Structure 1
Amino acid sequence: MSTQILKAKSGVITSEMEFVAKSERVTPEWLRNEIAMGRVVIPKNINHKFSPRAIGNGLSIKVNANIGTSEKHCNLTEELEKMKIAIRYGADSIMDLSTGGNLRVILQQIIKQSSVMVGTVPIYSIATRLLAKGMKISQLDPEELFDEIELQAQIGVDFMTLHCGVTRSSLSFLENDPRVCGIVSRGGALLKRWMTDNNKENPLYEQYDRVLKICKKYDVTISLGDGLRPGAGADATDRGQIAELLTLGELVDRARKYGVQVMVEGPGHMPLDQIEMNMRVMKRICHDAPFYVLGPLTTDSAPGYDHIVGAIGGTVAAINGADFLCYVTPAEHLCLPTLDDVREGVMASKIAAHSADVVRNVGAARERDYNMSRARRNLDWEQMYTYALDPEIARRRKSESESGNEDHCTMCGNLCAVKNDRNL
């Protein structure tokens, strides 16, 4: 089975490219060329049926929502409801990060019921099974990890976070440049522990061609995980982060040559004044591969409000090159997110993405804002709800106020500037 990138390189415009081009308001030929160059990816496993979306250069910024059980809280019905809420409020993808319960059944149900692309972190499943048996991470068998990658690909996972850049070399930079917060990536920490205890190289790096072979077979997009991403502002742009990035750039080139779609993950916690530089360096080192960022979170001091912190960083990152925002919820750093946390996290990231799209002038972002402004000028509330990023909350807040049935709102009443300017 040929992948989207191989078909694009051979001059073929696939049905997925046609669909995406129409929704993104670009020409199919332009999109085909961007995919061939590796600047755009369409994460869509051959075994997963849904309407595709693309990530990358010149396209609208996409938003991912993480869901999943934990050993402390395992309720599949609840996680499926979180998925539905995330998609309802505009998530373009779902990542199943489950670490509790029957992981195979959970993943199968999420893929079956998801109308958007689905991602995973395969090493979580292996580590969860080891711990359930009372075994240590050092006892992880690399063969089990590759079997898990293959199995998840067969099930229909569209993109996988694989921490291939956590190498003995990149880890050595952390030893000589200590961090405040150490390694905060679960996958990165697991691999470091395995590598240190066994005195061996990361199997995902050492046997990268094996990873490529599996992903090519099912057209799984590799999301090169940033296992050494900074988890504190004080650790941003340190040697460990940059060392891993250099390796990821090398792995991007190898994936493209092999015919596998690939994107790269980025930080993490980062002061606001470092984001623009980081995005530009990352894009340069990784030859304009699509970039997937968590946040970045611009302050470490706002637990309970990290969805806002992430939206601030995400907007700046997206303006300067990030293509895919992983949502951050109010529960970040505190607990497993609730249904309301998921909604708030998605909306915060959607606002960040839309704000960046307005600056980048892609899709219908500026048109949407213009139409909203015209509706406000005309005091046309129904049109305002139509163009709102969250129509439900806009309608509810207005209707439940003392001016619910009037053309003005309770803030200004009859002193409404628009009414007086128009002499209504």
Structure 2
Amino acid sequence: MNYTTQMNAARKGIITKEMDTVARKENIDVDRLRELVAAGKVVIPANKNHTNLEPEGIGEGLRTKINVNLGISRDCCNIDLELEKAKKALEMKAESIMDLSSYGKTQEFRKKLINLSHAMIGTVPVYDAVGFYSKELKDITVREFLEIIERHARDGVDFMTIHAGINRSTVERFKKNERLTNIVSRGGSLIFAWMELNNRENPFYEYYDDILNICEKYDVTISLGDACRPGSIHDSTDASQIEELIVLGELTKRAWEKNVQVMVEGPGHMAVNEIPGNMILQKRLCYGAPFYVLGPIVTDIAPGYDHITGAIGGAIAAANGADFLCYVTPAEHLRLPTLEDMKEGIIAAKIAAHAADIAKGIRGSRDWDNQMSKARADLDWNRMFELAIDPEKARRYREESVPAYEDSCTMCGKMCSMRNMKKILQGENINVL
């Protein structure tokens, strides 16, 4: 292998087996895909040590992908349950799983997850540092932070969230511009605390070149974390968010100089009318790098329903240029998600991603909808269930409310428009009584 990363191969004119796989999945010319990878507008997260990976592309002209978060915490540390969630996420065809474990020696879970998963795996190494070293945050050294990053890379993690954009300048901007919800990024708040407690620069910013060397070695894609993402619609598109975004653009170019693939993370909580402009701003300031958004959550009043607020924002964001959606579950802000919460979050995110792909004109995206519409016109219920994004729920709803006439449902009965139009157009009489 005479290349170091997917980006390095693309720039050398080499088509890797991962590029070949992604091109087939996306029905895109492989040479065009290679050009996009070379330019940094598409990433193929594929750690050299993740041997059972079925690679996916994220970025310009490709289907919108979704990510599922899971992992153990101090209050919920059942590894078997989290692995069960991972299996369900894979069954539901999620393209990515992030291990956000934040308690104890998490390497055991991470290795099991990587060995299990054919989907790409992401992590946030700063979460792992406290538990791994059994040290208070302020006592963790720069060397130890870098060791954790290399450990995750060596284990086979395909992409890592690195909060390198919150430097001393960003911190000063944050302090001068009061927020309603301060810094809500868990990783961002940990880095901010470390900086304040030690009166030092962010180690991920100061030693960014060392991190790039690790990522190049294993071909880990950097997901540049947005420490200052808004945690409420009140704080969106403020000075702290934009200051950090400018830094993330600079860090993107530095990564590309070392052939390291980059995604950029984005908001967060954001009113609907601000989302399109933010997508344009991110793409301009970060030179077209793929954009990875959490939600955005479009209103702050719906605990228990944030899979819906997130899906609304996600559809708008992706339709306006976001490439990768992090799912949001009904448990957001309330608890660690259950298996059922996770399923609802996946379905909501998949709906948002597909709706956006239709808007973006992604190849073949409308075909699925057209097939469903034909099945409805034909009153072909089994075909409708096969095509449904959640066949199990669709079939259950039908079985729970059985109509008197098989070619209708209990909503309309003999007044069903599909049924009656079909009969009339075939020259038959209809009786709606």
TM above 0.5, yes or no, is yes
Contact 1:399 1:405 in 2 (8 A): no
CA deviation digits over 1:21-69, x for unaligned, max 9?
1111111011000000000000010110221101000000000000001
What does 1:181-330 align with in structure 2 at a 5 Å threshold?
Answer: 181-330=181-330
Matched, 1:68 2:92: no
- SS for the counterpart of 1:293 is strand
Q: Which residue of 1 aligns with 2:117?
A: 114
Aligned residues between the structures: 421
Give the superposition deviation at 1:402. 1.4
Q: Which residue of 1 aligns with 2:347?
A: 347
> Which whole-Å CA distance do the structure 2 matches of 1:272 and 1:90 have between them?
28
Q: Which residue of 2 aligns with 1:100?
A: 103
> Which whole-Å CA distance do the structure 1 matches of 2:284 and 2:106 have between them?
37
The list of structure 1 runs, each at least 4 consecutive aligned residues, that deviate by more than 3 angstroms after superposition, is none
Q: Which residue of 2 aligns with 1:35?
A: 37
Q: Which amino acid aligns with 2:82?
A: E
> Which whole-Å CA distance do the structure 2 matches of 1:206 and 1:405 have between them?
70
Q: Which residue of 2 aligns with 1:124?
A: 127
Q: Which residue of 1 aligns with 2:60?
A: 57
Contact 2:104 2:131 in 1 (8 A): no
- SS for the counterpart of 1:119 is strand
Q: Which moved more, 1:24-33 or 1:387-396?
A: 387-396
CA deviation digits over 1:90-146, x for unaligned, max 9?
31100001122430101000101112000000000002345xx4x432112111110
Larger Rg: 2
Q: Which moved more, 1:204-213 or 1:379-388?
A: 379-388
Q: Which amino acid aligns with 2:12?
A: S
Contact 1:215 1:222 in 2 (8 A): yes
Structure 1 unmatched runs, 5+: none
What does 1:309-388 align with in structure 2 at a 5 Å threshold?
Answer: 309-388=309-388
Q: Which residue of 1 aligns with 2:13?
A: 11
Matched, 1:389 2:392: no
Contact 2:292 2:325 in 1 (8 A): yes
- SS for the counterpart of 1:304 is coil
Matched, 1:91 2:94: yes
Structure 2 unmatched runs, 5+: 429-433
Q: Which amino acid aligns with 1:50?
A: L
Aligned with residue 79 of structure 1, among 54, 57, 82 = 82
Q: Which amino acid aligns with 1:294?
A: L
CA deviation digits over 1:261-311, x for unaligned, max 9?
010000001111100000100000000000000000000110000000000
Aligned with residue 25 of structure 1, among 27, 39, 44 = 27
Return the structure number with greater relative CO, CA threshold 8 A, min gap 6.
1
Q: Which residue of 1 aligns with 2:431?
A: none
> Which whole-Å CA distance do the structure 1 matches of 2:293 and 2:256 have between them?
21
RMSD of Structure 2 on Structure 1 (CA): 1.2
Q: State the identity %.
A: 52
> Which whole-Å CA distance do the structure 1 matches of 2:29 and 2:394 have between them?
34
What's the TM-score, normalizing by structure 2?
Answer: 0.95
Q: Which amino acid aligns with 1:418?
A: M
Q: Which moved more, 1:261-270 or 1:405-414?
A: 405-414
What's the TM-score, normalizing by structure 1?
Answer: 0.97
- SS for the counterpart of 1:118 is strand
Q: Which amino acid aligns with 1:32?
A: R
> Which whole-Å CA distance do the structure 2 matches of 1:166 and 1:277 have between them?
22
What does 1:121-200 align with in structure 2 at a 5 Å threshold?
Answer: 121-129=124-132, 133=134, 135-200=135-200
Q: Which amino acid aligns with 2:92?
A: Y
Q: Which amino acid aligns with 2:97?
A: I
> Which whole-Å CA distance do the structure 1 matches of 2:14 and 2:308 have between them?
42
Contact 1:398 1:404 in 2 (8 A): no
